Copies of this chain bind each other. A is one copy, B any other.
Amino acid sequence: MSVTAAQGFAASGLHCGIRRKKPDLCIVRSLEPAVGGGMFTRNRVKAAPVLLNQSHLAQTEPQAIVANSGVANAATGERGKLNALATAAEAARLLELDAEQVLVLSTGVIGVQLPMGILLPALPTAVDALSPDGGADAAVAIMTTDTRPKEKAVECDGFTVGGMAKGSGMIHPDLATMLAVITTDYPLEPGEPASLLRPAVNETFNSITIDGDCSTNDTVLLLANGTSAVERTAESDKQFADAIMEVCDALSREIVADGEGATVLATITVSGAVDDAQARAIAQRIAISPLVKTALFGHDPNWGRVLVAAGSAPYEGRYADLDPECVSLSYNGTVVLRAGSPEDVRPDVSGPSCTIDLDLGLGDGRASYLTSDLTYDYVRINAEYTT
């Protein structure tokens, strides 16, 4: 269901030949006038579609999205920008929209030009295939090294929020090679989609990491077409915000769980920090540590590595302050370090998920991060992923 779960949306997904076999092109459109907004990677190297979308969103409200997998259209110079624009313009012509009403998403290899001779001729077929049942096809078409599509829909009182996402490598704030499209029939005003996305994205897509690399293409888009005609109240707004959070949370968890080669899902929580920002910096540092992540793979409660990472977390231009004698640490609820002294225990970390709780004993700051383990398969996938 995903992006077509809400009323008044249609989608399609097909194989046009950018990738050898799997579906690689999709369209999502609103059947009624919609408002939309997005959040984008903060990487200094932004892919052509990211720049195009930021420009289009500044001009008008988006009505449709064209997405391809296989080629990221990043580091492609002037030609890459023209290709992104040509994709939007041709889709707009077929959909009877203005070019600025179409957004473009690309994911895949960097530094390779989009094969326009393959992509453009496939757009009419993709437009013809648009259907209110096309969400599942679209979710498959945006996958790259993902092993499964990522979809989520939440039904609320009189309206629906649905979404799809892709991403399993190069996943890290801010947003990585992570694409997500969320649609709703809840009525929103222009400008609201972007501002309503931010808190949800910060708590979810921006609190996950697989390999610490943050990509050139990361994008989360929200389209709202108001088709549900539900009456907005403070209560329904709250329900909508919760639904957005729930969809973002589910999709971001699926991304980490499907992290390249992942076998263990770990939730790192830092509490007792000076403030939430410090907690977040330390949680992130632990979540990206290759030594912590390989220990997770080995089901080894090698908790010293968590301390090593925590003690060297960059924060405000230096390592985050902490007092080793105040620090306590638990694995799956078993205390291994209490106020700086080790306990003579060996926690059970044999399962496929693990919680690591670090209490700095300094204040009330708190943050959580979701990460996966670093495995042979992660190395295999990323050593073999061809340029």
Binding site for B on A (CB under 8 A): 42-46, 72, 74-79, 109-113, 169-170, 172, 211-216, 288-291, 294-295, 297-298, 300-305, 307-312, 314, 316-317, 319-322, 324-325, 327, 336-337, 340-342, 346, 374-376, 378-380, 382-387
Contacts and interface: CB of A to CB of B under 8 A. Distances in A.
Given A44-B321, A112-B342, A319-B43, A308 B386 contact: no
A44 B278 CA distance: 14
User: What are the 7 closest A-B residue pairs judged by CB atoms, nearest first?
Assistant: A110-B304, A298-B383, A77-B341, A45-B311, A294-B382, A44-B311, A43-B311
A341 B321 CA distance: 42
Contact of A324 (B46, B321, B324): B46
B303 A387 contact: yes
A103 to B, nearest CB: 20
A109 B342 CA distance: 12
A283 B383 CA distance: 21
B216 A300 contact: no
A327 B379 CA distance: 28
Given A170-B291, A211-B291, 13 more contacts: A42-B319, A43-B308, A75-B304, A75-B342, A211-B289, A211-B290, A213-B308, A213-B312, A214-B311, A216-B304, A291-B382, A294-B383, A300-B383
Contacts of A386: 300, 302
10 contacts: A44-B310, A44-B322, A110-B302, A110-B308, A111-B304, A111-B336, A215-B308, A295-B382, A297-B383, A376-B380
A44 B75 contact: no
A312 B290 CA distance: 18
A324 B308 CA distance: 34
Contacts of A322: 44-45
Contacts of A294: 378-379, 382-383
